[in-house]
Amino acid sequence: MHTLKRRLTPLLLATAALASASVLPAAAAEPHGPALTASSPALNTTALDAAVALEPGDRMSGQVARVATPDQVWQGSSTDTFTGRTISPDAHFHIGSMSKTFVAVVLLQLEAEHRVDLDQTVQHYLPGTLPASYPPITVRQLLNHTSGLPAMSFGIPNPTVDQVLDERLDYFTFDEIIRASLFPADGSTPPLHFTPGTEQEYSSLGYRVAGAVIEQVTGHSFSDEVTARVLRPLHLNQTTAPAGDSRMPRPALHGYVTDSTGRPVDVTRQADDSGAMISTAADLDHFVTALYGGRLLATAQLDELFALPRDGNGNPVPYVDGSDCNTGPATGKACYGVGVKTIALPDGTVLWGKTGHDLGYAGAFFATRDLRLRVVYDAGTATSDAPSTPALANRLIAAVLTPPQNPAGAH
């Protein structure tokens, strides 16, 4: 069912909404970030306020965003399409695959502790977890999406939206997901999509296997490890890895999915799987600031985070199709490092970060490596066929690239 949960992104004629926004002094807004002195252009807060407001046709129920430079932090939110109430900019939301970056950080820390070798095989750490017919697949290949593993499956090739909604409170462990995907009930063995290490293809299953490696090596759940290694040290008090607890902290960004009758269903409560996480825009901003600033990883591991997989000639391996890594000068080539991907803005600015989708939610965090620009957003969907990339994303980028009329960038 979770295959559809990752794909489902809602649809409803969203009405235009008023935005709630604020601008904070950088020093007050970023207690978790390093002191940066690099000069940055002032943010166009008027354009950002307009960007976060819902527009007709957005097909989202509400959205929150945060944009930051070393000198300035803006955060804003829309109203909720269904309730008409203003959403708190500090609202919690399901981060979906943004949790993959947290998985990668834990494994990179374990590598630095000499407890995991990223170039050792999955078969070494998890004997019997992969089909016997599979060739060696390394932990690094899981993390940089070059494993060739098939897609996740839960035994139903094309679950209906009603099935997904009915089972949204079901919880799955890493092992349950892996077994259902690689050892289906019909006894067949799903083939690899390509020889490991030769191409890149986004793999959610690969990160479930990576999560299982963490749990096997440490003897603890991913939830416990990420809390002890990342959330607690950084004081990310609004971020959790709930491990099956379907409750959502307040305030919350609500996501909706329409059932087969067209009725919108609030999916804010959902159990998901062992790698699921909940956070806020501010906490994700603090996380990426600490991560890129070297507070979570040693230099060697931080370099690995941003390293694209390359072939024998030193060139990025090809991406398997046009479904991803399809913008900028590197179109068609690998764009994922270890837990993060790279994108280029129209002005040439290079960002690194991660998108995330869950049932009823779509968002992302991205930042330049020097942290001169950081962008976080999340949108709650309004129906079951909303765009996977909210219009908010493009509006935020356009606002970031638009100089303010008032040089001070204040309002």
Query: What's the mean pLDDT when you consider all of the chain?
Result: 88
User: In this structure, are residues 169 and 246 in contact, taking their beta carbons and an 8 Å threshold?
Assistant: yes
- The token duo for 410 is 């204040």
Residue 107 · residue 210 · CB < 8 Å: yes
SS3 annotation, the chain:
CHHHHHHCECCCCCCCCCCEEEEEEHHHHCCCCCCCCCCCCCCCHHHHHHHHCCCCCCCEEEEEEEEECCCEEEEEECECCCCCCECCCCCEEECHHHHHHHHHHHHHHHHHCCCCCCCCEHHHHCCCCCCCCCCCCEHHHHHCCCCCCCCCCCCCCCCCHHHHHHCCCCEECHHHHHHHHHCCCCCCCCCCCCCCCCCECCCHHHHHHHHHHHHHHHCCCHHHHHHHHHHCCCCCCCCECCCCCCCCCCCECCCEEECCCCCEEECCCCCEECCCCEECHHHHHHHHHHHHCCCCCCHHHHHHHCCCCECCCCCECEECCCCCCCCCCCCCECCECCCCEEEECCCCCEEEEEEEEECCEEEEEEECCCCCCEEEEEEEECCCECCCCCHHHHHHHHHHCCCCCCCCCCC
* Encoded tokens for 57: 């046709």
pLDDT at 157: 66
Average pLDDT for 173-196: 92
User: Higher model confidence: residue 122 or residue 272?
Assistant: 122
Q: What is the pLDDT of residue 1?
A: 37
Which pLDDT band, with edges at 50, 70 and 90, does 185 fall under?
confident
CB 168, CB 159: distance < 8 Å: no
Least confident of 106-115, 192-201, 219-228, 379-388: 379-388
Check whether domain 2-400 has CATH 3.40.710.10, yes or no? yes
Residue found by looking up tokens 């890594």 in the block: 325
Q: Which of 79, 104, 97 is nearest to 19 (CA)?
A: 79
Mean pLDDT for the stretch of residues 300-309: 98
pTM of the complete model: 0.89
pLDDT (mean) for 364-373: 98
Band the pLDDT of 159: cuts 50, 70, 90: confident
**Residue boundaries of the structural domains of the chain:** 2-400
- Name which of 264, 149, 159, 265 is nearest 209 in CA terms: 149
Q: Is the pLDDT of residue 254 over 80?
A: yes
89 CA to centre of own chain: 18
pLDDT exceeds 50 at position 3: no
Distance of CA 283 to the CA centre of its chain: 13
Whether residue 20 is predicted with pLDDT greater than 50 in this model: the reply is no
pLDDT at 168 (0 to 100): 86
